[in-house]
Structure 1
Amino acid sequence: MDTTSRTLVKSITWQVMGLLSMTIVGYLFTRSISASGGIALSGAVIGFVCYFLHEKLWSHIGWGRK
């Protein structure tokens, strides 16, 4: 089972990668750094919370572990 701090660090690194990639995609569509950054940032915050909760939930499920 992962510790809370490990899950937190995994969530942060995942969201940084997502933030960068979504900023690039948003910029390609909008040609605006501020618009693409806002879209990416809001998606990163929502994704961070969902991923963290998802990982914590799955850490309590024993299915598939050996």
Structure 2
Amino acid sequence: METRRRSVVKAVLWNAMGLAVMTLVGLVATGSAAVGGTLAIVNTAIGLTLYVIYERVWAGIAWGRNV
């Protein structure tokens, strides 16, 4: 089983990459670094929360694992 700490670290790293990409996309789409950055931060906060929950649920499911 995966530890809670590992799940959180994976989620934070994944979302840091997503934050960088979303900031760039938001900047290109809106022409504003402030608006693009705000959109990226909101998206990252929601995505991080949901991803941690998703990973923890799957960490408790044995289906498909080679044990």
TM-score (norm. length: structure 1): 0.97
Q: Which residue of 2 aligns with 1:15?
A: 15
Equivalences for residues 1-66 of structure 1 within 5 A: 1-66=1-66
Q: Report the residue type matching 1:52 in the other structure.
A: V
Q: Displacement, 1:31?
A: 0.8
For structure 1, the residue ranges without an aligned partner over 5 or more in a row are none
For structure 2, the residue ranges without an aligned partner over 5 or more in a row are none
Work out the percentage of aligned pairs sharing the same amino acid: 39
Q: Secondary structure at the match of 2:63?
A: coil
Alignment root-mean-square deviation, CA: 0.5
Q: Displacement, 1:38?
A: 0.3
State the Cα deviation string for residues 12-66 of structure 1 (Å, max 9, x = none).
0000000000000011111100000000000000000000000000011111001
